[in-house]
């Protein structure tokens, strides 16, 4: 059976390979940060990650990321989505055309459509990329993605002929007054056949106001060579870029509004939607109730019917059906909360499996642990998992009662049905159905406190007289 991976079906029924080239070399000077711009995060995912996830739906057979020098962290982020991605380095930033020319060697032997994307445009959708790619064919070997701008100032304008064909893109600084009145603008995202790209890219010059090699010149070169250039459109918001932290915050707000709508229409109740923050990959089941001021970091799945109470922070966790989390709970990476389990106020769980119906309702830390079904963890319980050098496992069986203010010093195994008295420090394994207690015998001395108060009062009085 023929695999469709890396191939795209056009309206003609033909299949063509897809390659992506992502421009991600920007330093992000206006971000005032040492971190490359494309690695700043929105909704728990890097800007670059958002773009790559959108492109991944098209199953490209090649992915080339153009980065700046010493940007190994950009490569690591890209490999998380495309493990076999290739990387080109743009040592000098001489424009978008120059950036793409750095990637050409990694397209050797490729035959198909090349999608040129930008790593700082995180709202781009797979649907828009698919529409754009489908416009490329033998008669029209290039297509651009455009949008109608509310205020076109600063954008490149799409110039069309009398028949409506795109024949040029004019940058703001190079546009005539008449061209500047055009509201149809260029997103910068291009789809082009590999052969036309190889033919036209070397012809791009830098005779413009900035002295840079503009990728947008490809449109005019395409028209001059007698080929057609197609146009796909999307909303202005979808191709919004990020250049500073203010724009980053605006992107975050847009994403959160989208995720909140998605989860509510999917069957979840958000009591105060504007106070709940999701990550791009958060999965929420039906009939889930999420109270105000809850934050979901990356890697969270919430099962049907679960309740997430106010002021909880959850990251890298799986929450089972009917579980109850919070208020003020913290679930860290590796937390697996079983069906109908309860994790209550000021309880922290890290890299621990909590069994079905188990409860830890107050003021506890459960890390590097297994907790069996229907076990009750009393207030103030701590799994002492770290010895200063290594982490160790605490294995608690089913139907165990752990009394308040208990310290479980790992590695330790607690058998099924064990009862642990409050205030105990457990340092060795406990067999099933045993009582474990490390509590000194209570010593009661009648009248001692009254006599002590009298002695103290007498000393105080003598001091005042003296």
Write down the pTM of the prediction: 0.89
Residues 6+ apart with CB under 8 A from 172: 153, 154, 155, 156, 157, 180
Alpha helix positions (H), 135-236? 177-180, 194-200, 217-224
Q: CA 397 to CA 241: how far, in whole Å?
A: 52
> Tokens representing 219?
């449109």
Domain boundaries, the chain: 7-239, 267-436
How far is it, in rounded angstroms, from Cα 28 to Cα 22? Answer: 16
> Distance of CA 239 to CAs 74, 128, 369, Å?
21, 10, 45
At what angle are helices 72-79 and 47-56 packed, to 10 degrees? Answer: 40
* Cα 220 from Cα 243, distance rounded (Å): 27
CB 292 within 8 A of CB 309: no
Average pLDDT over every residue of 106-122:
97
pLDDT of residue 97: 94
Q: Taking a C-beta distance cutoff of 8 angstroms, is the pair 166, 187 a contact?
A: no
User: Can you tell me the distance from the alpha carbon of 368 to that of 377, in angstroms, rounded to the nearest whole number?
Assistant: 15
Q: Could you tell me whether strands 359-362 and 342-345 are parallel, antiparallel, or unpaired per DSSP bridges?
A: parallel
pLDDT at 96 over 80: yes
Q: Are 36 and 46 in contact (CB under 8 A)?
A: no
Q: In which element (H, E) is residue 383 found? A: strand 382-384
Taking the C-alpha atoms of residue 78 and residue 53, their distance in angstroms, rounded to an integer, is 10
Q: Whose CA is closest to 167, among 98, 116, 218? A: 218
pLDDT of residue 2: 27
**What's the whole-number mean pLDDT along residues 324-328?**
98
Residue 15: predicted pLDDT: 54
Distance, CA of 327 to CA of 350 (rounded, Å): 17
Lowest mean pLDDT among 70-74, 265-269, 273-277, 288-292: 70-74
Band of residue 186 on the pLDDT scale cut at 50, 70, 90: very high
Residue 334: other Cβ atoms inside 10 A: 17
Structure tokens at 281: 């990959």
What is the CATH T-level fold of the domain 7-239, as seen in this structure? Spore Coat Polysaccharide Biosynthesis Protein SpsA; Chain A (3.90.550)
Tokens of 430: 């406990």
Upstream peptide bond of 265 is cis (omega within 30 degrees of 0): no
Which comes out higher in pLDDT, residue 3 or 167? 167
Q: Which of 70, 63, 68 is nearest to 98 (CA)?
A: 68
- Residue 164 has what pLDDT? 78
pLDDT score at 185: 96
Name 283's bridge partners. 301
Is the pLDDT confidence value at 3 over 60?
no
Q: Percentage of the chain with pLDDT > 70? A: 97
For residues 177-202, give the mean pLDDT: 95
Binning pLDDT at 50, 70 and 90, where does residue 107 land?
A: very high
> Is it the case that residue 377 has pLDDT exceeding 90?
yes
Confidence of residue 438 (pLDDT cuts 50, 70, 90): very high
- Give the mean model confidence (pLDDT) for residues 251-262: 98
Pairing of strands 41-42, 45-46: antiparallel
Q: Distance between CA 261 and CA 263 in Å, rounded?
A: 6
Mean pLDDT of the chain: 94
Q: Can you tell me which residue has the tokens 């103030």?
A: 380
Q: Indicate the helix (H) or strand (E) that contains 48.
A: helix 47-56
Q: Stretch 221-243: mean pLDDT, rounded?
A: 94
**Alpha carbon distance 109, 407 (integer Å):** 63
Place of tokens 């294995």: 395
Q: Do the beta carbons of residue 394 and residue 376 sit within 8 Å?
A: no
> Which helix (H) or strand (E) segment is 74 a member of?
helix 72-79
Q: Which of 98, 153, 342, 362 is catalytic?
A: 362
In the chain, % helix, strand, coil (3-state, to 5) comes to: 25, 30, 45
pLDDT digits (tens, 9 = 90+) for 5-63: 455 454 443 458 999 999 999 888 899 999 999 999 999 999 999 999 999 999 999 99
Average pLDDT over residues 401-413: 98
**DSSP character string of 222-247:** HHHTT--EEEEE--TGGG----SHHH
How much is the average pLDDT of 397-409?
A: 98
pLDDT class for 210, splitting at 50, 70, 90?
A: confident
How many other CB atoms are found less than 10 A from the CB of residue 63? 25
Residue 302 β-bridge partners = 284, 319
Does the annotation count 362 as an active-site position? yes
pLDDT at 421 over 80: yes
Model pLDDT, residue 441:
86
CATH class of this structure's domain 267-436: mainly beta
The half-sphere exposure of 79 on its side-chain side, counting CA atoms within 13 A, is: 10
Give the neighbor-by-neighbor strand order of the sheet with 269-270.
Answer: 269-270, 289-290, 307-308, 324-325, 342-345, 359-362, 376-377, 401-402, 419-420, 435-436
pLDDT reported for residue 265? 98
Average of per-residue pLDDT across 129-144:
95
**336-364 residue pLDDT tens:** 999 999 999 999 999 999 999 999 999 99
With 70 as the cut, is the pLDDT of residue 305 above it? yes
Exposure string of 8-39, with b = 16+ CB inside 10 Å and e = fewer, is: beeeeeeebbbbbbbbbbbebeebeeeebbbb
| 93: pLDDT strictly greater than 90 | no
Three-class DSSP category at 172 = helix
Q: How confident is the model at residue 329 (pLDDT cuts 50, 70, 90)?
A: very high
Q: What is the band of 442 on the pLDDT scale with cuts at 50, 70, 90?
A: confident
């Amino acid at each position: 059976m023929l695999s469709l991976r890396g191939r795209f079906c056009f309206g003609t029924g033909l299949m063509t390979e897809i390659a992506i080239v992502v421009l991600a070399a920007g330093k992000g000077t206006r971000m005032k940060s040492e971190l490359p711009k494309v690695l700043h995060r929105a909704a728990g995912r890097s800007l670059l990650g958002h773009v790559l996830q959108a492109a991944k739906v098209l199953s490209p057979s090649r992915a080339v990321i153009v980065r700046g020098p010493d940007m190994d962290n950009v490569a690591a982020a890209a490999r998380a989505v495309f493990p076999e991605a290739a990387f080109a380095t743009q040592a000098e930033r001489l424009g978008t055309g120059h950036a793409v020319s750095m990637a050409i060697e990694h397209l050797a032997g490729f035959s198909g459509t090349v999608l040129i994307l930008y790593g700082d445009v995180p709202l781009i959708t797979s649907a828009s990329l698919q529409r754009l790619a489908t416009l490329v064919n033998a008669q029209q070997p290039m297509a651009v993605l455009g949008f109608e701008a509310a205020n076109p100032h600063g954008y490149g304008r799409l110039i069309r002929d009398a028949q409506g064909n795109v024949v040029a893109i004019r940058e703001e600084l190079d546009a005539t007054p008449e061209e500047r009145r055009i509201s149809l603008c260029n997103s910068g995202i291009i789809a082009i056949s590999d052969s036309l790209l190889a033919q036209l890219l070397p012809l791009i010059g830098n005779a413009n106001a900035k002295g840079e090699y503009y990728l947008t010149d490809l449109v005019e070169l395409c028209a001059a060579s007698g080929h057609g250039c197609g146009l796909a459109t999307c909303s202005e918001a979808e191709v919004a870029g990020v250049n500073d932290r203010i724009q980053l915050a605006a992107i975050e707000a847009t994403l959160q509004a989208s995720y909140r709508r998605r989860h509510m229409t999917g069957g979840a109740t958000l009591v105060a939607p504007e106070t709940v923050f999701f990550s791009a990959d958060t999965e929420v089941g039906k009939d889930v109730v999420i109270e105000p001021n809850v934050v979901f970091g990356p890697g969270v799945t919430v099962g049907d019917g679960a309740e997430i109470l106010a002021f909880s922070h959850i990251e890298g966790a799986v929450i089972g059906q009917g579980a109850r989390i919070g208020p003020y709970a913290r679930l860290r990476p590796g937390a697996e909360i079983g069906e109908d389990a309860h994790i209550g106020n000021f309880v922290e769980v890290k890299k621990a499996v909590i069994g079905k119906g188990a409860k830890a309702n107050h003021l506890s830390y459960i890390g590097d642990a297994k907790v069996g079904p229907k076990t009750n963890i009393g207030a103030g319980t701590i799994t002492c998992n770290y010895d200063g050098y290594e982490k160790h496992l605490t294995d608690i069986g089913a139907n165990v009662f752990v009394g308040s203010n208990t310290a479980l010093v790992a590695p330790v195994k607690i058998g099924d049905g064990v009862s642990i008295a409050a205030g105990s420090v457990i340092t060795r394994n406990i067999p099933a159905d045993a009582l474990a207690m490390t509590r000194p015998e209570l010593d009661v001395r009648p009248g001692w406190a009254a006599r002590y108060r009298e002695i103290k009062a007498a000393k105080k009085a003598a001091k005042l007289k003296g």
